[in-house]
Amino acid sequence: MRVGTGYDIHRLGTGRPLILGGIEIPYDRGLIGHSDGDAVLHAITDAALGASGLGDIGELFPDDDPRFAGADSADLLSGAMEKVTEAGFRVGNLDVNVIAERPKLKPYKDKIAARVAEILKVKTSQVSIKAKTKEKLGPVGRNEAIEVHCVILLLETDS
Ligand code: MG
């Protein structure tokens, strides 16, 4: 068994769709980033890379590389998972905390889990998505950003 953690934070800004966990969520602002800004998929990608000893998302997909400008983060996660699979690991389960003051994410948790499971090619029961607020504290609490933490358990493919 191998465990990995992932963390990401992106600023909220106008003129962008809000993409979280590979789905678009209706809101008047979106996450600013070189890619689509999907902090959920970025945190999962980093957790999986960390667990398998393959570095981090910034090494694989540099944010100054024009190839990844506006990238679909689902493609980045799929690309990382190919390397994780090649390294001999499969997903056991993952647990994700999405911390946002607004919008309220509770209505979207199941849809996000289903989409993440689809990208990872696992069962929805292996994916836990939890939505929290920051109790109005700090930049996330002021609704200037969305923060994500992920813990993932990987298993050796032949175990
Ligand atoms: Mg990111």
Ramachandran sector of residue 14 (left: φ over 0; alpha: ψ -120 to 50; beta: rest): beta
Select from 110, 138, 140 the least CA-distant residue to 39: 140
pLDDT at 74: 97
pLDDT at 159: 60
Q: 159 C-alpha to center of ligand 1: Å? A: 32
CA–CA gap between residue 80 and residue 68 (Å, rounded): 14
Q: 38 C-alpha to center of ligand 1: Å? A: 6
Q: 157 C-alpha to center of ligand 1: Å? A: 28
Q: 44 C-alpha to center of ligand 1: Å? A: 10
Decide: residue 75, CB within 10 A, 0-12 exposed, 13-18 middle, 19+ buried: middle
Q: 116 C-alpha to center of ligand 1: Å? A: 16
CA–CA gap between residue 153 and residue 97 (Å, rounded): 15
Q: 55 C-alpha to center of ligand 1: Å? A: 15
Dihedral Cα 32, 153, 25, 17, nearest 10 deg: 20
Where do the domains of the chain lie?
Answer: 2-156
Ligand 1 (single-atom ion) residues, CB below 5 Å: 8, 42
CA–CA gap between residue 60 and residue 93 (Å, rounded): 23
pLDDT at 140: 98
Decide: residue 26, CB within 10 A, 0-12 exposed, 13-18 middle, 19+ buried: exposed
Contact status, residue 5 vs residue 50, Cβ threshold 8 Å: yes
Q: What would the pLDDT profile of 9-18 be if each residue is shown by its tens digit? A: 999 999 999 9
The CATH architecture one would assign to domain 2-156 is 2-Layer Sandwich (3.30)
Residues of the chain short of pLDDT 70, as ranges, are 159
Q: 11 C-alpha to center of ligand 1: Å? A: 10
Q: What would the pLDDT profile of 71-106 be if each residue is shown by its tens digit? A: 899 999 999 999 999 999 999 999 999 999 999 999
